[in-house]
Chain A
Amino acid sequence: GENVEQHPSTLSVQEGDSAVIKCTYSDSASNYFPWYKQELGKGPQLIIDIRSNVGEKKDQRIAVTLNKTAKHFSLHITETQPEDSAVYFCAASRGSYDKVIFGPGTSLSVIP
């Protein structure tokens, strides 16, 4: 079955710097890759997703890149702010009617 790995497990950056989280997946049939943010006391919330027919997607300060050949994808957060501090999860799925497999998470701390 699908296995998703995520690095680093913890990440500290200064406010205003960039943060990068990397994930790899094992199932070459996966074609949907969402990223979720979980704040303390809340459930995960989707922040961006990418499908296999594109290599990059951007939404304001957040961008995701996908390399299907290497089976890895990354989350990039620019101009980090304290409110970006949270746990971030990457995930992979074969798409409709298939379960989503989550990575173990990255705890991001943005230091003011």
Chain B
Amino acid sequence: ETGVTQTPRHLVMGMTNKKSLKCEQHLGHNAMYWYKQSAKKPLELMFVYNFKEQTENNSVPSRFSPECPNSSHLFLHLHTLQPEDSALYLCASSQGNGGSEQYFGPGTRLTVT
């Protein structure tokens, strides 16, 4: 148990569906992150939030929409995804942005059909 939880753990959705991924951290951290992990590729940073403000958007398509209502919660809203978006989506948190340990959740395994 890392102190970072993600729901759901598995999600299958069609290309026309709208769904949301949820992340919650119980560590009192100030920064939260979304990563995409595809087979045989490096972890891809998608978004960074620092004190609820988005500080990084790594050229992510608009069909992925993040939301950070407070320092403990992070959402990733999904709509009109493509099959190539199928991957493991990992949430992480840390005390500060970079330069400190990131604590990862277990991830959401997303399959787009």
Contact = CB atoms under 8 A, between A and B. Distances in A.
Report if A and B associate in a common complex.
yes
Question: Interface size class for chain B?
Answer: 20 to 34
Interface string A12-46: 00000000000000000001101010000111111
Interface in B38-56: 40-43, 45, 48, 50, 56
Majority DSSP secondary structure for residues of B touching A: loop
Nearest to A97: B97
A41 B98 contact: no
A69 interface: no
A108 to B, nearest CB: 15
Contacts, number: 66
Interface stretch (B67-75, B77-85, B104-112): B104-112
B91 to A, nearest CB: 8
Interface of B: 2, 4, 40-43, 45, 48, 50, 56, 90, 92, 96-107
23 contacts: A32-B99, A41-B106, A43-B2, A43-B104, A43-B106, A44-B104, A46-B103, A89-B42, A89-B43, A94-B98, A95-B99, A96-B98, A96-B100, A97-B50, A97-B99, A98-B97, A99-B45, A99-B56, A101-B42, A101-B45, A103-B42, A104-B40, A104-B42
Interface of A: 4, 31-32, 34, 36, 41-46, 49, 89, 93-105
